[in-house]
A and B are shown apart, each in its own frame.
Chain A
């Protein structure tokens, strides 16, 4: 299937008009397939993914929102069977510098379905900072969420996955399960913290990290699991496991 070109639209929040449009060059498709933004003071950065048409490669760009210039571009080689497994960028600001964490599948999903690689990209270059396995089938639908300690220091990343992987050219879905792991940036180790085993027809998981008790939301993060009937379920997490679950019917 021919990839769509894709665009990133910048909206003026006062006039409510689309003021800028970002697009890749002619060799790229699905520009803006995944985006992650970070802000510090008056500076903003945007990490954007795109694909190279006809080739098993992804591009990851960091864009300075002030002038929409490209700070750097990385080319990511992927296994052809992972064509639809997006590398998931997480853009944060560490000190004054933009950092992009990238969750990526470097091996064929069918050969090694539990394996994901976490990269850290700074101005100087990209380095692998860890691997996630832990017996979790992290096959597709990955999401990442930064967690800051009470002093505001980035101390780790929650990683969630929806296991809705289907083999290429089939409509077969193995499972519909959600999983969350904690990746500790200090130790470089990951720990599984949450697994929803029952069939929930999950359509996505979002994560929201926080550092202090927030009403009844006590822990380190909230994962939201959506269900087909329009209701929702919140799962409250700590780095060591699930605290509680709340169901909300439509």
Chain B
């Protein structure tokens, strides 16, 4: 759970919290002033996700969330979401997903170095 940038532009930082269960997990974003849901980030509902690692319905997406400075070049702070990724011979690996707070899409996934090395050696 963490504060994120003022997404709904009402003058107050907003709130994100993870639900790493259910269909792969999700992250809720709530407006602080009205305590109303702004959006739900669900990797299993995002099409075209291909970072060489699957963030899918077994991913525990949302185990931890953390606000980070802009990562995708749109000047807006983004959201870092921990979970697991699947791919390669080693099976499940720790994964960090960078989520844009403008589009709410996953823009980058970072996984365990050993998995990355195993993939680059192929």
Contact = CB atoms under 8 A, between A and B. Distances in A.
Interface of B: 1-3, 10, 12-13, 15, 17-23, 25-26, 28, 30-35, 37, 40, 68-69, 71, 94, 96, 98, 108, 110, 112-113, 116
Given A203-B21, A215-B10, A230-B22, 14 more contacts: A11-B110, A13-B71, A17-B110, A203-B20, A204-B20, A207-B1, A214-B32, A216-B32, A216-B33, A217-B35, A224-B17, A226-B18, A248-B37, A250-B22
A227 B34 CA distance: 22
B12 to A, nearest CB: 4
B32 A230 contact: no
Interface of A: 9, 11, 13, 16-18, 21, 203-204, 206-208, 214-217, 222, 224, 226-232, 234, 246, 248, 250
Given A16-B110, A18-B113, A230-B22, A206 B68 contact: no
A21 B32 contact: no
Contacts of A228: 21-22
B112 A230 contact: no
B113 A9 contact: yes
A9 B40 CA distance: 28
Given A217-B15, A232-B19, A224 B32 contact: no
A232 B35 CA distance: 13
Contacts of B68: 13
B37 to A, nearest CB: 6
Contacts of A222: 1, 15
A204 B64 CA distance: 11
B96 A232 contact: no
A27 B15 CA distance: 41
B15 to A, nearest CB: 7
Pairs of residues from A and B, 3 with the lowest C-beta to C-beta distance, nearest first:
A215-B32, A230-B22, A215-B33
B47 to A, nearest CB: 19
Contacts of A16: 71, 98, 108, 110
A229 B40 CA distance: 14
Contact of B26 (A13, A204, A230, A234): A230
